[in-house]
Structure 1
Amino acid sequence: MTAFTAWQVWGRFVVNDSPSWTEPASVLMMGWFILLGSAVGVREGYHLGFDILVVVLPETPRRVLVTISDIAVTGFGGAMAWYGYQLAAGTWNNVSPALKIPVGISYTPLIVGGVLIVLFSLERILRRLAGLPEPHLEADPADSVA
């Protein structure tokens, strides 16, 4: 992505002949980075949630709140995948003039990211139900103020 953007800047300001495909290709790659990165954030437990509250609550209420959060994130990921699919299917027959590929490809990161968010959220819920540890939610004793 950085190389494409640098190439576009070089073409625009030095050669005065900017390639037309570099900007849409960079935007497409950015979509993949953002949506796959958000799925990794869900997997690692860095998504929005009850983080401030859960570190001070006892175990049972903490587990309930985190599970509610994971259920909400699962629904969001499912909606993201479903509506991303509808966008991709509805625009698949249109061709991007700059990239010469179907416009629907630009919506595939929504589908893949949404499916991964669902899978990772379900994994977190199942790990919790199985009683496996969740190290990202444990309070670090070194962080406590004496």
Structure 2
Amino acid sequence: MKQLLKILDHAERAAITIMMMVMVILIFVQVFTRYVMSDSLGWTEEASRYLFIWLIFLSIGIAFVDKKHISIDILLDVLPTIVQKIIMQISYIILMILSIFLLKQGLDLVENLQQFSQKSSTLQIPMWVVYLSLPVGFGIAFLRLIHVSILLYIDRPDKESEVDHI
């Protein structure tokens, strides 16, 4: 199980890093061709937009493990540890339910888009590929929520490097 979570973590982080690098390069090329060569490449804008969508949905799960989602924890910090764990577990369960709902809705959306066979305007890729980021992202987020729920009850000496203790 630990090995599978490490592989998932490395794959997610590598995919996000590659997407970010490609996106930066595409945007640089777009700016260069538009302002220096006075001729823009339309496909770079569309490609970077779709990469950004995938990047956001893939980042949801990692943000759960790294505890990077926005939260107000001033009240939580003054409560006893057991109460903190109970409240966090309840919030994880609510987020799991939401992730399952969004995963199901995303799959339905992708299925509907496959029937219409709509393509993007410039790149001519099927739009269901773009929208597939929704169920993939929330599927991974669901797995990560199970992961952080388990980590909640494991005493770790170094809470900063949770990925190493998978």
TM bin, normalised by shorter chain, reads 0.7 to 0.9
Match of 1:72 among 84, 91, 94: 94
In the alignment, which of 94, 98, 106 is matched to residue 122 of structure 2?
Answer: 98
The 10-residue stretch of structure 1 (41-50 or 92-101) with the greater mean CA deviation from structure 2: 41-50
Q: Partner of 2:81 in structure 1? A: 59
> RMSD over aligned Cα, in angstroms?
1.9
1:16 aligned residue: 38
Per-residue deviation at 1:23? 0.9
Q: Which runs of 4+ in 1 moved over 6 A?
A: none
Give the whole-Å Cα distance in 2 for the aligned partners of 1:11 and 1:49: 41
Q: Distance in 2 between matches of 1:90 and 1:20?
A: 27
Equivalent of 2:135 in 99, 111, 125:
111
Q: Quick one: distance in 1 between partners of 2:38 and 2:98?
A: 44
Which structure 2 residues correspond to residues 15-54 of structure 1 after superposition, within 5 A?
15-49=37-71, 51-54=73-76
Structure 2 unaligned spans of 5+? 1-22, 161-166
Scaled by the length of structure 1, what TM-score is found?
0.80
Percent identity between the two aligned chains: 27
Report the Cα distance in structure 2 between the residues aligned to 1:11 and 1:46, rounded to whole angstroms.
Answer: 36
- The aligned length equals 134
Aligned to 1:142: none
Distance 2:91 2:74 in 1: 13
**Can you give the 5+ residue segments of structure 1 that lack an aligned partner in the other structure?**
137-146
TM-score (norm 2): 0.72
CA 39–46 in structure 1, closer or farther in 2 if over 3 Å, else same = same
Comparing 111-120 and 30-39, the one that deviates more: 30-39
Q: CA deviation at 1:82?
A: 1.8
Distance 1:127 1:11 in 2: 48
